[in-house]
Amino acid sequence: MGERNSFVINHALRVFFIASVLSSVVTQLNTLVDGIIVSHVVTADAISAVSLATPVFLLVMLLGSVIYTGAGLLIAEALGNQKYKQVNRLFTISVTSIVIINVLLAIVLIACKDAICRLLTDEERLLPLLKSYMPISFVGNLFFLLQMTLAQYVKISGRPALATKCVMVESVGNIVLDLLFVAVFHWGVAGA
């Protein structure tokens, strides 16, 4: 019986490890391709504007990450104890909290866009690109955070391969939309 349990645990760990590594690789490739598209189709300064905005997005993502990580731990425990009503309640509360908090943050950040852009750079050539990129990205950040949240919960439910497939679909979708909005519709850095 001990060998069987050891095999099942080792197999589960391998599956989760491979899924996590693949998800990370796909996310990094997505970021790389994003940068190539923006820098070649818009301008090299556009990738600078995107990079300047990164600290703001990481701060916004921090709160959502704390919520879904904490909720994920509680959900995993409730799943293990087969308390499915509690799982549903925790899932609903966490996703609703993430949406409400990030919508409010997006509204505040969009209202303060000019001050935030001036705080990030005083380069006059970068300011228009940054001002164009920030508002759309604040809204897009919500969808990215929801995707990360749902992928986390799918992994917790014991389906890491499905979470990896979701990350891959999101990454391919992002690249296709980048090409469409940046190269075809010529939205510039806002299309990224």
The average pLDDT across 67-83 equals: 87
pLDDT of the residue at 116 = 92
The Cα-based distances of 10 to 13, 117, 150 in angstroms read 5, 49, 25
pLDDT digits (tens, 9 = 90+) for 34-71: 777 777 777 778 888 888 888 888 888 888 888 888 88
In this predicted structure, the answer to whether residue 29 has a pLDDT above a threshold of 90 is: no
Task: Give the gyration radius of the chain's Cα atoms.
Answer: 19
pLDDT of the residue at 22 = 75
DSSP assignment letter at 192: -
Mean confidence (pLDDT) of the chain: 81
pLDDT digits (tens, 9 = 90+) for 142-179: 887 887 787 777 777 777 777 777 778 877 887 888 78
- Pull the structure tokens for residue 57: 């997005």
- Pull the structure tokens for residue 68: 């879904």
Direct distance between the N- and C-terminal alpha carbons of the chain, in angstroms, rounded to an integer = 54
In this predicted structure, the answer to whether residue 4 has a pLDDT above a threshold of 70 is: no
- Pull the structure tokens for residue 8: 């099942």
pLDDT digits (tens, 9 = 90+) for 110-127: 899 999 999 999 889 889
Residue whose pair of structure tokens reads 């899932």 in the numeric block: 91
pLDDT of the residue at 58 = 83
In this predicted structure, the answer to whether residue 10 has a pLDDT above a threshold of 60 is: yes
pTM score, whole prediction: 0.71
Alpha-carbon distance of 79 to 95, in angstroms, equals 17
The average pLDDT across 83-108 equals: 90
pLDDT of the residue at 112 = 92
